[in-house]
Amino acid sequence: MTWRATVLTLFPDMFPGPLGVSLLGKAREKNLWSLDVRDIREHGLGKHRTVDDTPSGGGPGMVMRADVACAALDAAANGTPQIYLSPRGKPLTQARVRELSSGSGVTLLCGRFEGLDQRAIEARNLEEISLGDFVLAGGEIAAMALIEAAVRLIPGVLGAEASPTEESFENGLLEYPQYTRPQSFEGRDIPPELTGGNHSEIAKWRRSRAESLTKARRPDLWALYEKPKG
């Protein structure tokens, strides 16, 4: 079964964007995954296809209407998880990406303006996901990031020789540093542990560097990594 990404947006011309090039673009051409982009404005109201209205209680900006959003969601419903990209959502993790990648696909609603009427989120039980503690102008870039993260885990997308199992977050740690030729660059040499051919020493060095990087840069991850299992 082809993994399917369905995107609901007010700016369909933004897609496929970066999803259409490099390995992801080639994988799409091979039908390893598909992209269905739908214009929310097709479900807008009246002559001008209105999709938003002023916030109840006052305030700046506009809010996407619940009736319009739900009509778009219902028209696109295909049994995949329905996700609303929102800065107030749960942070996207590699574990959640892997869950989504192993399913049949995702349906992503890209918000704009001041957000989406809460009743649409509740009525369609949308999962709210955030890329981090910052705010974008809309959900399209976030949707692209989520799709790329999931698609690259589909077997065959990265190629038979590539393996994501040692990347950052896969084992609870950040990834160790990488090196390649030349042996020396501006007075900096490749660590000798990586050039001696001793696979045990290489694995030990990589684990040590992954642990030290995680401890220094992501104490939150380090705390979880150190937490006793059981």
- Last residue within a domain, chosen from 103, 119, 151: 151
Q: Of 167, 158, 153, whose CA–CA distance to 206 is shortest?
A: 167
Model pLDDT, residue 227: 85
Rounded CA gap, 25 and 167, in Å? Answer: 22
- Of 27-36, 100-109, 160-169, least confident by mean pLDDT is 160-169
- Of 7-16, 87-96, 159-168, 210-219, least confident by mean pLDDT is 159-168
Phi, psi of 157 (to 5 degrees): -70, -45
Model pLDDT, residue 159: 77
- Last residue within a domain, chosen from 101, 129, 151: 151
Which domain CATH number covers 214? 1.10.1270.20
Q: Do 137 and 192 have their domain in common? A: no
pTM of the model: 0.91
- Full residue range of the structural domain in which residue 209 is found: 165-230
Please indicate, yes or no, if residue 157 is contained in any of the structural domains: no
Instruction: For the chain, state the CA radius of gyration.
Output: 22
Please indicate, yes or no, if residue 156 is contained in any of the structural domains: no
- Name the DSSP letter for residue 211: H
Domain count, the chain: 2
- Last residue within a domain, chosen from 122, 151, 180: 151
Q: Do 117 and 218 have their domain in common? A: no
Model pLDDT, residue 181: 94
Three-state DSSP class for 139?
Answer: coil
